[in-house]
Homo-oligomer: A and B are copies of this chain.
Amino acid sequence: MEYIAINLQEKLAKFSDHWSPKIIAQMNDYHFKLAKFQGDFVWHSHADTDEVFIALAGEVTIEFRDGKAYLKTGEMFVVPKGLEHKPFAEKECKIMLVEPAGTINTGEAGGDLTAENNIWI
């Protein structure tokens, strides 16, 4: 049997759109997704789940109503469920997200930046 590792750089090369996470792996009922962020996202929260951000390349700020988390390459952060947050990246950054399958990128907020949540690459 052939067991193929998932190469993050190869997967990142497969898309260029911003704020549109792509699924690369499933663990039980969780998805590992890659995304490219640039500019401002929308304020939103996920009522039922924590959400993991891992900065693979570049820098991202996750704003909260009472502060912010700043992540550079090789850093991660767990946004607690229910906590309003707004990612922001001055330059394009590459992010891995880990969250339950079916999680919507804009959470409870909706709007124009809501992406398909079932695209595998």
A residues with a Cβ closer than 8 A to B are 1-9, 24-28, 30, 32, 49-52, 55, 62, 64, 66-72, 74-78, 81, 98-100
Contacts and interface: CB of A to CB of B under 8 A. Distances in A.
Contact of A3 (B28, B30, B77): B77
Nearest to A29: B50
Given A3-B69, A64-B3, A27 B77 contact: no
A71 B5 CA distance: 6
Interface of A is mostly: strand
B69 A8 contact: no
A49 B8 CA distance: 23
Nearest to A99: B27
* Most-contacted residue by chain B among A8, A27, A72, A74 (CB, 10 A): A27
Contact of A66 (B1, B68, B75): B1
